Amino acid sequence: MTFAGIDAEAGDDVPGLGACVGYIRDLAKPSAVDLLRDAARTGRPVLQPRCGVGGHEAMKRLLIELEEQAAPDLLTLTIDSHTRLRRFGEAQRILASDPARLNGYPLVSHGWRRGRELNAAVRAPLQVRHGSPDARELFVTAIASGITSFEGGGISYNLPYVKDVPLGESLRAWREIDRACGVLAGHGVVVERELFGTLTAVLMPPSISLAVSILEAVAAAGEGVTALTIAYPQGGNAVQDVAALRAVKVLAGRYVGDRAAVFPALHQFMGAFPRDLAKADALILFGGMVATWGRAAKVVVKTHREAFGIPDLAANVRGLRTTRVAVSGYLGAGFGVDEDAVAEETRWICQEVVELVEPVLQGDDLLSGIEKAFVAGRLDVPFSASVHAHNAVLPRRDATGAIRYADPGGLPFSATTRRRNDDLLAASPGHGVMNPAGLIEAIRADVEHFAT
């Protein structure tokens, strides 16, 4: 089928563009972008849990109960792995036999009518979160369901998730999605596109996260996307995390301009969580406070059960309530972060991002420029699952817990940037260790920074 310029294999019964636009316009609820604009104006970020199960009735019940018990501003349909990889037949087979085996909701298999049923069951808008390098069928089904918040991008939903999908393929597939968003915008329907700067979420240097998102944002805005969320993963050092969130506005102003509204979002810590529930709750509270200090428009919420497996309803409710306290102003405004240190760190993060993206943006074709940069190692994602990333970047924590570059690999950083990273790492535990066993142990300690 063809929908708003997308050539998709599935969903032949999906309504046409006009019918989808009419349905979305008639929805009696705010959109995700409405909420983000309010958050940017008031300073009170949108709260969103992650959730997704295979069965339709179980998914509907989970959404309703989350809304009844915790009142999240935005709700999630997390999509299963088979749908992410376009294995629609396999998703359908498991759905028919044992839906509980699916690690998310197979929206394409359930179809847009059931998607609309979920949308109608709750007051909050829905966002589709997934991890697909080619999400065209999923996007069409989401729009037909009335869901106008859709996460992903050609880099961020490829390199962290799959082993061998060429970047050119994923970039072109996501270009079709972004182009469809431009068509929808022309009909008065704004699709909020969130860019997954979290990437692998393992010791992710802020400048890699933001550089990838900025490149995806420029590509999306060039196709007509008018609302973008740049998501950043909490690293654990408050000054660095606040600086990275504030850098989003600076960089968006420089590279996106007025072509699209851009909102910063924080993913609460996605690394190894402490098993002690009190410490886990404290880490979640800390994430909410960092989001407020960094002026994030949204917080994607974690739970105190992260160290034990998939969180249940009660854990999600508790995570949302804990985060709501952090962002509510209940704790007062008498403390925060060193603003001078934040300003300095913001300046350096922006400088690193500029050094990464400027060579790519100077080419004639952005998508081919991105491909070439990854082939050459001038762009890279540490701890990537993909053969199309060099994995040559070695991040480490400095003595304050901030994430730096122990080895930038082939990233085109200036001598000044390299020297600053070296200087900041000089006092870190295990700095200068050359033997592999010692280095692995030092990196493991950095990864498990909060786990003990």
Tell me the percentage of the chain whose pLDDT exceeds 70: 98
- Residue 186 resides in a domain: yes
Q: Is 151 assigned a catalytic role? A: yes
Beta 2-3 vs 6-7: how paired, if at all? antiparallel
- Residue 452 resides in a domain: no
- Residue 307 resides in a domain: yes
- Residue 230 resides in a domain: yes
| Marked catalytic residue, from 50, 86, 114, 151 | 151
Q: Is 84 assigned a catalytic role? A: yes
| Marked catalytic residue, from 50, 84, 136, 396 | 84
CATH number at 238 reads: 3.20.20.240
Q: Kindly tell me if the per-residue pLDDT of 202 is higher than 60.
A: yes
Give the residue among 303, 308, 328 at the shortest CA–CA distance from 318: 303
- Residue 416 resides in a domain: no
What's the confidence (pLDDT) of residue 5?
77
pTM: 0.96
How far apart, in whole angstroms, are the C-alpha atoms of residue 316 and residue 327? 17
Token pair of 358 as six digits: 């400027």
Instruction: Compute the chain's Rg from CA coordinates.
Output: 21
What's the confidence (pLDDT) of residue 10?
56
Summarised one tens digit per residue, pLDDT across range 142-199 is: 999 999 999 999 999 999 999 999 999 999 999 999 999 999 999 999 999 999 999 9
How far apart, in whole angstroms, are the C-alpha atoms of residue 13 and residue 10? 9
Summarised one tens digit per residue, pLDDT across range 27-76 is: 989 999 999 999 999 999 999 999 999 999 999 999 999 999 999 999 99
Domain that holds residue 314: 2-327
How many CB atoms are located within 10 Å of the residue 428 CB? Answer: 19
- Residue 374 resides in a domain: no
- Residue 96 resides in a domain: yes
What's the confidence (pLDDT) of residue 428?
78
Q: Helices 167-186 and 17-25, interaxial angle, to 10°?
A: 60
Token pair of 38 as six digits: 């309010």
Q: Kindly tell me if the per-residue pLDDT of 1 is higher than 70.
A: no
The count of domains in the chain is: 1
Of 12-26, 44-58, 211-225, 422-436, give the lowest mean pLDDT range: 422-436
How far apart, in whole angstroms, are the C-alpha atoms of residue 417 and residue 402? 15
- Please report which confidence band the pLDDT of residue 331 belongs to, taking 50, 70 and 90 as the band edges: confident
